Amino acid sequence: MDSFLQAALNGLVAGTILALPAIGFTAMFAVLRYPNFAVAAFATLGAYGGWMANAWLGWPVVAALLAAFVLAGIVGGLAERVALEPLRPAGALTVAIAAIALNVIIENILRFSFGNDLRGYDLPLARDIRFGSLRVAPQQVENLMLALAVMGVLFAFLAFTRIGKAMRATADNPDLARLKGIEPRRVELLAVFVGAGLCGVGGMLLGLDTSVDPLTGFRIVLSVFAAAVVGGLGSIPGAVAGALLIGLAEEFATLAIAPTYKSAVGFVAILLVLTLRPRGLLGERAY
């Protein structure tokens, strides 16, 4: 029972962190209608950007998170305009393949720049917090709070700001949004900036929980895609629900199999959902 509760606690924390890049992925899909698999590179960029701000410049974690968001968002926007948007006439599959290639390019640029060594954030040492036989690291608690805060800001942005409402309108019906005077191209760029930025924040939180290296984002890309598919591609609430389910499932799986193989849970989840409920848990409604 203790191991089950510990796995549930770890799964909730992992799922909450995973929700940020999953939201970023599904938000870009909702507006652009193609899967941007460069989310792995954006997550790694955010992890390195936050690490440099924290370890090199001495910025606190919250400020470093903002740096991670901006860096990943800018690179994501530039990549969309320069590399991916010109390929859209060739179809979604072509753009998705180009995004995978872009992911490899960015990953290797980071590898050549920083090497393969593990990088750690400048964080104070602290003892685990214990609740009976359960224990949680203070950094896990901080990561959980930060992830929830970012999601709260995002949902408020989408619900109450003019730009956020324009993003929702474009995702739901781009033709009607255009008739209402919304410029789809600007909204698309904003969606990529926000989506890639969220991936960067998720990558930094993952780095805070473990460490940073050129494969930081690659390790979670299958889980991110699985979370989006389980929740319903294009559904932001679905991405959150899917991320929590995948996080819990992966941690529970470690009770029966070696942690090395827990990523297989993502494959199983995708196969089950595509077989039993192709639209995902919450369907395709964007917001």
> Is 70 exceeded by the pLDDT of residue 69?
yes
Nearest to 134 by CA among 272, 243, 268, 10: 10
Give the Cα separation of 109 and 214 in Å (integer).
Answer: 9
The whole model's pTM is what? 0.92
Contact assessment for residue 191 and residue 287, using Cβ atoms and an 8 Å cutoff? no
Return the top range by mean pLDDT from 55-59, 85-89, 201-205, 262-266: 201-205
Lowest mean pLDDT among 5-9, 245-249, 274-278: 274-278
Q: Which residues pair with 134 in a beta bridge?
A: 131
State how far Cα 66 lies from the chain centre. Answer: 15
Torsions phi, psi of 195, nearest 5? -65, -45
- Record the tokens describing residue 162, joined without a space: 């003019």
List, in order, residues 6 or more apart from 262 with CB less than 8 Å away: 250, 251, 253, 254
Give the Cα separation of 243 and 189 in Å (integer).
Answer: 25
Tens digit of pLDDT for each residue in 183-200? Answer: 878 888 999 999 999 999
List, in order, residues 6 or more apart from 2 with CB less than 8 Å away: 133, 134
Contact assessment for residue 233 and residue 92, using Cβ atoms and an 8 Å cutoff? no
> Is 60 exceeded by the pLDDT of residue 81?
yes
| Residue that is written with structure tokens 């510990």 in the block | 6
The residue-averaged pLDDT of 13-23 equals 94
Q: What is the pLDDT of residue 136?
A: 82
Give the Cα separation of 29 and 234 in Å (integer).
Answer: 6
The residue-averaged pLDDT of 33-48 equals 94
The residue-averaged pLDDT of 132-138 equals 78
Pairwise pLDDT comparison (68 vs 88), residue with the higher score: 68
Nearest to 23 by CA among 211, 186, 167: 167
List, in order, residues 6 or more apart from 127 with CB less than 8 Å away: 138
Cα 22–28–31 angle (5° rounding)? 135
SS (HEC) of 225-279: HHHHHHHCCCCHHHHHHHHHHHHHHHHHHCCCCCHHHCCHHHHHHHHHHHHHCCC
